[in-house]
Structures are given as C-alpha cells and as structure tokens.
Structure 1
Amino acid sequence: MPVRERIMETALRMFRMYGIKSVTMFDISRESGVSKKTVYEHFRDKEDLVHEGMSFLLNGHMEQFKNFRQHSANAIEELIRELEYMELLGKTVNPVMLYEVQKYHPGIWKTVEDFKRDCVLSSISENLKRGIEEGLYRNDLDAAIVARMRQLQLETVFDPAQYPATAYDLHEVMAQLTQHFILGITTLKGRKIAAGYLQIKDEN
C-alpha cells in the first residue's frame, strides 16, 4: 500500500475510534509506522488530513450506493442492502468524530452536508423512482417529500440525542424504522416481496 494511503487509512481508523481532537499527527505517524516528517510531506496539516480522509470516505459511500443500485434484483433489495451497509457504518463510526467535524471543521462539514443532499437524497429518490416503475412502490407517492422524510429518518438513527446507545440497539432501531418505511410505501406486490426480506408476516 502506498505511504499516503496507509497514513490516511490509519488516520481514519483512529478518528473513528477516538474522535478527531484527541488524535495527534504524532499518533498517526507512530501508528502508520512512518516518521512525523513523512506525514507532513503528504498532508499539509491535520485539517488537510481530515479533509482528504472525509472526502475518501464519502466517495467510498457513493460507490457503494451505485453498486447496490446496479446489483440488486429490485428496489426493495437495494433498500435492504443499504440498510445493512448503514448498520455497519453505525458500528464503526464514533459519533464523536462527526460531532467534532461539525464543530471544529465547518468547511469539511459542508462537504458532508453536500453529500447528504447530492448523494444520499439522490439515492433515495432514485430508489423510489425505481420501485414505482417496478410496481413495488405506490405510484401516488410524492417522491420529493418521501425522500426527504427518509433522509431525516436515517439521520436521527445516528443522533445520540434521539437514540442513545445506552437505551437503544442500533440494529433494532434501523430494522424498525426501515420496516415502517417500506410497509408505508409498498404496493401489495411490493409488500409480499418485502415480507421475505424483512421476515415479517403479510397480513393480506
């Protein structure tokens, strides 16, 4: 692995575990197995490293969403695969990291907000369009409203003020919200397909 990638991967792992503020450039150099001087040869400062790291993460998420869209049998499967992916993210990302990006790195946080608007919201909208075309989602949905509702719903999952880890299990929160969302937008045909993925009883 190239030195630059190793440094970034190490930094991201440490940021996810400990937050950003408590991790120093020296910590990153030591964990990466390179000198502090080498770290600064590749990244101007910690702000630059955080910015590059977040851009790398967001681009990775974007590619995952595209992959789910291209390789899922239908819109519901795509939605379920995204759910599983976000659950994994929730288990590996320390909420402190996101809080610190928002508080101490406003320029970088704007990149995150742009990602939410341009990628996440767009991905949800595309899924809704696909589901309607496949006859799995109701055709009377206002996609713009429903997509925004789903985006806000997902954001609350990762907000410790709404679902503190001491009181709620991430998997159960994601499962309940997604089940509620899917059953609210699906047709009878879609609900029958969803029942298999969600392992719920079809009351119809």
Structure 2
Amino acid sequence: MQEKILNTATEMFLQYGFKSVTMDDIAEKLGISKKTIYAHYSTKNKLVQAAGSHLLQSISEGINKVRSRNLNPVIENFEIKRFVNQHLKGEKTSPHFQLKKYYPKIFNKLIEEQFNVLENCVEDNISRGIELGYYRKQIHIPFVCRIHFVGMMGIKDKEMFPLEEFSEGDLTEEFLNYHLRAICTEKGIKTLEEFKATS
C-alpha cells in the first residue's frame, strides 16, 4: 500500500502541483481513508519529500538507461531531455515552482541530490565528447557542469520565463543549443545541426 500511495501522490503532485494536492485528494483517488495514508506518511511534508526523492530516483534510472546506449555525446543530451520531458508533467502547474515556494527545505535537499546526479552525467558526457572530438579540449569540466546545472534550473523560473511567452520544452531545447554551441568543436556543431535538421 505504501508504494501505491507514493506512486499516486507523485503522479498527482506532478499533474496538479505540490501545494494544490491535499491528503484528502490522494485518499479519494486511491479509494482509501486519509488515516491509511497517515499510517505510512505521518505528515504531508514527509509524503512530499518521499515523492520528490522517488521522482528523482526514477529519472536518474532513466537517464542511466539512456547513457548505457553509448550514443554520440551531442545527441545524448537531446535523448536525456526527451526522456525527462516525457516523465515530468505539470508544465502549467509548475511543480518545481510550488516545491520551491511552499516546501523550501525539501526543495533545497532535492536540488542538492539532483546536482549530484546531473554532475556525474554531464562530466561523463563532456569527457567522452572531448575524447571523440565533438567538444573542445580546453573545457574546464567542473565549471561547465555547474553552468549546465544553473542554466537548467534557471529556465524553470516562471517569473523570468513566464509560460505565456516560453514553453518548458522550447526552453530546454534552446538551452541545450546554447550550451552545446559553447562547447562543441566544428565536428560537434556539424553533428548538432544534422541532428536538428532530422529531428
């Protein structure tokens, strides 16, 4: 039952937002009493924390599957983006914004965990890209990893990038183009342009 509660809560938080969904909503969706949820998660905060960690774990596993395909490093960025976009819903409710605003301690802990996942992924991608000649040799890898992370987090800021003007999918695409053109060699840019022309 605990796993069922966690999966349903995560799905609802993504669809409607962390603040908007109540314990009553989750209980109603599952057809159980609120008391049953509290037997597994004594507060909504604990359920939000568990849902955030669960989501991050699922995304991390999916990213690792993409990485295990040993794709061209340039294209791998877009495949990871595609996977993440398919598994993160709620663009209109902005669960990221709600988590940051209403659950700042949980948000900060998850951001730290997320950085650890992304840093490992980006470091590996850049190292392979340099080795294969797609990325410039002079790249300062720790700096680029952090710039990549800050950029990906920054485009989720709905005050800076309001939904009326920018869709989340377009923002991620634009950011990846910006990021890759900064680190690619001519060979990498050629791959990027060919991929974009056919996707």
Partner of 2:168: 170
Corresponding pairs, count:
198
The CA distance in 2 between the partners of 1:166 and 1:79, in whole Å, is: 26
The CA distance in 2 between the partners of 1:148 and 1:13, in whole Å, is: 29
Partner of 1:185: 183
Q: Please tell me whether the aligned partners of residues 134 and 184 of structure 2 are also in contact (alpha carbons under 8 angstroms).
A: yes
Partner SS for 1:92: coil
Deviation at 1:170, TM superposition (A): 2.8
Deviation at 1:89, TM superposition (A): 5.1
Partner of 1:32: 30
Task: Report the TM-score, using the length of structure 1 for normalisation.
Answer: 0.86
Please list the CA deviations of residues 102-134 of structure 1 after superposition, one character each: whole Å capped at 9, or x if unmatched. 333333223212123211223212211111111
Q: Please tell me whether the aligned partners of residues 100 and 107 of structure 2 are also in contact (alpha carbons under 8 angstroms).
A: yes
Matched, 1:71 2:69: yes
Deviation at 1:165, TM superposition (A): 0.8
Deviation at 1:46, TM superposition (A): 1.1
Q: Please tell me whether the aligned partners of residues 90 and 170 of structure 1 are also in contact (alpha carbons under 8 angstroms).
A: no
Measured at CA, do residues 184 and 20 of structure 1 come closer, stay the same or move farther in structure 2, by a change above 3 Å? closer
Partner of 1:104: 102
Match of 1:83 among 55, 66, 81: 81
Unaligned stretches of 5+ in structure 1?
A: none
Measured at CA, do residues 132 and 173 of structure 1 come closer, stay the same or move farther in structure 2, by a change above 3 Å? same
Please list the CA deviations of residues 65-92 of structure 1 after superposition, one character each: whole Å capped at 9, or x if unmatched. 2112111322112111122234335643
Measured at CA, do residues 165 and 106 of structure 1 come closer, stay the same or move farther in structure 2, by a change above 3 Å? closer
Kindly provide the amino acid, as one letter, of the partner of residue 11 in structure 2: R
Alignment of 1:1-204 (within 5 A): 3-88=1-86, 91-93=89-91, 96-199=94-197
Q: Please tell me whether the aligned partners of residues 179 and 198 of structure 1 are also in contact (alpha carbons under 8 angstroms).
A: no
Measured at CA, do residues 22 and 87 of structure 1 come closer, stay the same or move farther in structure 2, by a change above 3 Å? closer
Q: Deviating runs (4+, > 6 A) in structure 1?
A: none
Measured at CA, do residues 120 and 42 of structure 1 come closer, stay the same or move farther in structure 2, by a change above 3 Å? same
Q: Please tell me whether the aligned partners of residues 10 and 28 of structure 1 are also in contact (alpha carbons under 8 angstroms).
A: yes
Task: Report the TM-score, using the length of structure 2 for normalisation.
Answer: 0.88
The CA distance in 2 between the partners of 1:42 and 1:87, in whole Å, is: 30
Please list the CA deviations of residues 152-198 of structure 1 after superposition, one character each: whole Å capped at 9, or x if unmatched. 22112211112111012333322222122222211222222222222
The CA distance in 2 between the partners of 1:191 and 1:54, in whole Å, is: 36
Measured at CA, do residues 55 and 190 of structure 1 come closer, stay the same or move farther in structure 2, by a change above 3 Å? same
Q: Please tell me whether the aligned partners of residues 15 and 89 of structure 2 are also in contact (alpha carbons under 8 angstroms).
A: no
The CA distance in 2 between the partners of 1:33 and 1:51, in whole Å, is: 23
Measured at CA, do residues 199 and 161 of structure 1 come closer, stay the same or move farther in structure 2, by a change above 3 Å? same
